[in-house]
Copies of this chain bind each other. A is one copy, B any other.
Amino acid sequence: MPEGPRRSRSGAATIEEVARAAGVSRQTVSNALNAPHRVRAETLERVSTVIRELGYQPDQSARSLRSGARRTIGYLAPVDDPLDPNPLMAGFLEALVDAAGEHGRRVLLFRPARGEADPTAAIDELVAARQVDGLVLADVLTDDPRIAHVARLGIPFAAFGRTGPGQPQHWADIANDAATAGVVRHLAERGHRRIGYLGAAEELPWMAARRAGFLAETGRLGLSAAPLPLPDPTAPAASAEAVRALLRGPDRPTAFATGSDLLALDVYEAVRAEGLAVGPGGVAVTGFYDSPLCRHLHPPLTSVRLPLRAIAAGLVARLLDQVHGGAVPTAGLELPTELVVRASSG
């Protein structure tokens, strides 16, 4: 006398099987999982035991279909220059996955199709297929069309990088200007009075802010600033050459701040080519991003470390606020950076 299958064909336990084994109804099992306070303590324990014994986990598809909650966050990978990829993407993604995991969410990765210029198409697809509760965007520009698009669609989102004034302020970002200002103060404390700055790709807001922070702080402290002209990205040797020219000039800087660790490499080269040394007694140099590179340079490079975990946590929190329809904050989250001092400026 068969009374129905004890286990579904796929091998994984279903809620029905748990219910039967625990002598309760489907819904009670569901409640034990989603609203334990509604279940009598004794029942809860019994159900929990069976769940553990059978290794039951709700089928995510069924759950999503019925409840609408996807429990998944989409991450739209920025399409960056393959010659100069954003050096912190790997670290940021790790932090994002962890932050999402702490809220029981997974991260779905996607990118615009190859050769497809319009990133909004990829967003539309993902949203139309109802695969995510919201989106995280990175490398966001001040008036980013992606932000405009998701805002128009009304999808919950959070941006790594500030959004424009007319757009929802669901972002987290570091204080780029304060970061380079801090670098300037650090160098000033070490006695440097004339400081150079090497940037790149200054059309990017974070790069522009770093330069601006440098200029503001040198001005405030009454230091002599020697910002280099913007380098030509197609001729990477050019920036090293410009640094050399500055070092040969009448009023040689004793320190250089830069907008990235790779740019600091150019400064290292220029300093050495001029017969000078990097570090204490010679020319101080600082980088940005604190990439693994820093520890391998000689001397090790002082650099600005980004609080990636805090950024990711902030983004996930802001995103889930929107998903849950709670109070939606209307201000961005600006986080401080940390200056990791090493021998290049110590």
Q: Which residues of A contact B (CB under 8 A)?
A: 10, 12, 55-62, 64-65, 68, 70, 72, 75, 77, 83-85, 87, 89-91, 93-94, 97-98, 101, 106-111, 113-114, 124-126, 128-131, 236, 240, 262-263, 265-266, 269, 272-273, 292-293, 295-298
Q: Could you tell me the distance between the alpha carbons of A128 and B56 in the complex, rounded to whole angstroms?
A: 7
* Contacting residues, chain B, for A125 (C-beta < 8 A): 57
* Contacting residues, chain B, for A265 (C-beta < 8 A): 293, 296-298
Tell whether, in the assembled complex, residue B57 and residue A12 are in contact, meaning their CB atoms are under 8 Å apart: no
| Closest CB in chain B relative to A158 CB, distance in Å | 17
Q: Could you tell me the distance between the alpha carbons of A56 and B296 in the complex, rounded to whole angstroms?
A: 52
Tell whether, in the assembled complex, residue A266 and residue B61 are in contact, meaning their CB atoms are under 8 Å apart: no
* Contacting residues, chain B, for A90 (C-beta < 8 A): 85, 89-90, 93
3 pairs of A and B residues whose beta carbons are closest in the complex? A57-B128, A61-B64, A269-B298
Q: Could you tell me the distance between the alpha carbons of A254 and B129 in the complex, rounded to whole angstroms?
A: 59
* Contacting residues, chain B, for A56 (C-beta < 8 A): 128
| Closest CB in chain B relative to A319 CB, distance in Å | 16
Of the candidates B77, B91, B272, the one whose C-beta lies within 8 Å of that of A97 is B77
Further contacts, 16 of them, CB under 8 A, given A56-B128, A85-B91, A265-B296:
A60-B61, A60-B130, A61-B65, A62-B65, A72-B108, A77-B93, A77-B94, A77-B97, A93-B109, A97-B109, A101-B113, A262-B293, A265-B293, A266-B298, A272-B272, A273-B298
Tell whether, in the assembled complex, residue A58 and residue B129 are in contact, meaning their CB atoms are under 8 Å apart: yes
Tell whether, in the assembled complex, residue B296 and residue A236 are in contact, meaning their CB atoms are under 8 Å apart: yes
Of the candidates B59, B75, B84, B292, the one whose C-beta lies within 8 Å of that of A130 is B59
Q: Could you tell me the distance between the alpha carbons of A87 and B88 in the complex, rounded to whole angstroms?
A: 11
| Closest CB in chain B relative to A123 CB, distance in Å | 13
Residue of B nearest to A66 (CB): B61
Of the candidates B91, B106, B236, the one whose C-beta lies within 8 Å of that of A109 is B106
* Contacting residues, chain B, for A94 (C-beta < 8 A): 77, 111
Q: Could you tell me the distance between the alpha carbons of A26 and B70 in the complex, rounded to whole angstroms?
A: 24
Q: Could you tell me the distance between the alpha carbons of A110 and B97 in the complex, rounded to whole angstroms?
A: 6
